[in-house]
Each structure stands twice: as structure tokens, then as C-alpha cells.
Amino acid sequence: MREKTKFIGDAPTVLPQKKKQNTIDLNQINNVKYKVERMLNSIGKSIFIKYYYDFKDCYMGKITNESFANKLLNENKNAKSIDGQIIRINNAKKIFSENLQILALEIIKNSKRLDEQIITEANKIILEERII
């Protein structure tokens, strides 16, 4: 790429080149990954996999937050309040709205502390989502 020269008075001055717009900063990638990991920790990785398509439907407006929150509350013995379920739903919807669901699934797939069944299901969803 050639440098651009601009004349200021009688003397030529070399202008600094602009950074390419399509280059991705490694810090940006790490920041996004960290943000997704935080959201997954708020949701629960196993819950995100078990209810992946419900979270997706909620994001797409096919089911309401309230009805899904009640479902989560009723089906999970560790769930304590509707407000907690709404927090899970909002975090999952943020993942979908920012189109970070594949990254989230990859993070889960590479997790060392999850059951093999959850990791297998994450792999299955990744394959299905990449086809769509």
C-alpha cells in the first residue's frame, strides 16, 4: 500500500495510514469471549443447552418471557424465583441478539467440568445451527 503525501506549504508531509477496518483486535475477541462466558455463568451452561431452543424461541418472540420463566422455575429444583429465571432469559436473549450463540456453544463444548451428555448435546446443536 502506498503512503499518501500531502503538501503543507512547500514541504511534503507523509500522512499516517489508517488501520484496516476489517482487522480484528485480539483484545476485542477476548472481551467478547469473556462477556459470553459471564452471560453463560448467569444462565448456567447446562440450562443453556437443555433449554437452548426454548431460549431461541423466546428471543424470536414465539414464547413470552413470563411463560418460559414459569417453565424454568417449575422444571428446575434449584431455581428459586421468577426474577432469577428472567435474568437467565435476558442473558440468553442477549447472546442471540448479538449472534453469539455459536461462540457460546463452543465455550460449553470446551468446558472441562460439564457432563459428557451436555457436551455431546452442545456439539449436536452446533451442527444443527451451522446448517440453518
pLDDT tens figures, 27-45? 998 999 999 999 999 999 9
pLDDT at 85: 98
Residue 129 lies inside a defined structural domain of this protein: yes
Q: Confirm whether 104 is domain-assigned.
A: yes
For position 131, what pLDDT does the model report?
Answer: 82
- Is residue 3 in a domain? no
**pLDDT above 70 (res 9):** no
β-pair partners for 5: 14
Domain contains 109: yes
pLDDT over 90 at 126, yes or no:
yes
- Sign of the dihedral defined by the CA atoms of residues 78, 82, 85, 87, in that order: negative
- 40 lies in some domain: no
Alpha helices (H) in the chain, listed in sequence order: 26-43, 45-50, 52-59, 65-75, 82-97, 101-109, 116-131
User: Over 90: is that where the pLDDT of 3 sits?
Assistant: no
Range of the domain at 52: 45-132
Q: What is the pLDDT of residues 64-75, one digit of tens each?
A: 999 999 999 999
In sequence order, the β-bridge partners of residue 8 are 11
pLDDT at res. 94? 98
**Total domains present in the chain:** 1
Does the predicted TM-score (pTM) go above 0.85? Answer: no
Whether 56 is in a domain gets the answer yes
Average pLDDT over residues 79-100: 97
Say if 27 falls within a structural domain: no
Assess if residue 5 is contained within a domain.
no
